[in-house]
Every structure is written in C-alpha cells, then in structure tokens.
Amino acid sequence: MAAVEWITPEEVAAYLDLPGAPDDNLTLSTAAVKAAVEGRRSDLWLGGDPTATPPVPAVFTPGDDVHTGSIIWAALVYQARGRLASANEFFEPLGTPRPDVMRLIGWRRPELA
C-alpha cells in the first residue's frame, strides 16, 4: 500500500494559480519543503511498528496549520528560485512574512541554554 502524500505539487500549483501539470522545479520545491518539515516536526510522526512483519511505517500527520504553512513555503521556494539577492527577499514574493509561515509550520526558534 502506497503512503498518502500530505503535500503535493498540485496543491502548491493550485495555490499559485499555475495552469497545467506541475513542472520539475515545483516538484523539487515541494519535496524540499516536505523533507524539511518532516525532519523538523518529528512530533507529528504517529504509529508505526518496525518490529512487525512486514514492518509498519509511521505516518506523518500534520494539522491544517502545518499543511497550509508548508504549501505557502513551497510556493515561496518555487517563486524565489534563481532570483534571490538576499535571504530577506525569500519570504516577500507573496507578501507572506517569514514569521507567519514558520508559525504555521510550528518551526520554533532555537532557545539559548
């Protein structure tokens, strides 16, 4: 049984109002954001039993806020490819400030010890 994708290039294309099938750049942008969010939000991996026969994989279960923030972030990555002059410009093409996207995803700032 194939895993259900929690974010797809088609969702990002719909957010950007792009016609037609997603291109390779959009697919790669979506995959990069998906990997980053799944790595950072390990608290959203549920279930799974690696000792079962066959092994049962865990399932990533983001809420609507994480899902929406990830779509916006992937759209920003897609739009920013090849035109970044500075890191501050990264979150400006859609008028969405970086703190709003990171808040939706639940990406917390590192705390000093």
Residue 1 in domain: no
| Tens-digit pLDDT profile for residues 51-85 | 888 888 889 999 999 999 999 989 988 888 755 55
Q: Does residue 63 sit within a domain?
A: yes
Across the chain, what does the average pLDDT equal?
A: 81
pTM of the model as a whole: 0.75
Asked whether residue 3 is assigned to any structural domain, the reply reads no
DSSP annotation of 85 reads S
Structural domain total, the chain: 1
* 90 inside domain: yes
Residue 113 lies in a domain: no
In sequence order, what E strands does 1-113 have? 45-46, 59-60
Report the DSSP pairing between strands 59-60 and 45-46: antiparallel
Asked whether residue 83 is domain-assigned, the answer is yes
Q: What is the residue whose two structure tokens read 């990069």? A: 32
Residue 4 covered by a domain: no
Range of the domain at 47: 9-105
